[in-house]
Amino acid sequence: APALDLVARRTRGEEDQRGRVHQLHDVDDNIGKSRKIMGAMVRRMDRNKWIIGLLIALLVLAILVVLYFKFVH
């Protein structure tokens, strides 16, 4: 009976170990997906910053053109 108990404990321990390894792989996969999502978000933020900067520059240019024609002509 003690030998069977030892085998049962060892089997349970191996199952626990496999469960932990499986859980670790799941966490690894989730981190990979999160990294991809974050990378896409950063690229989108950078693109949006450039677009907003361009819009601001165009508005400033339009204001300067209006002021030029108002005071020079």
- Which segments of the chain are extended strands (E)? none
Cα separation, 54 vs 60, whole angstroms = 10
Which long-range CB contacts under 8 A does 34-41 form with residues at least 24 apart? none
What is the pTM for the complete model shown?
0.58
Cα separation, 49 vs 46, whole angstroms = 5
Q: What is the pLDDT of residue 9?
A: 77
Encode pLDDT of 10-63 as tens digits.
Answer: 788 788 788 788 888 889 999 999 999 999 999 999 999 999 999 999 999 999
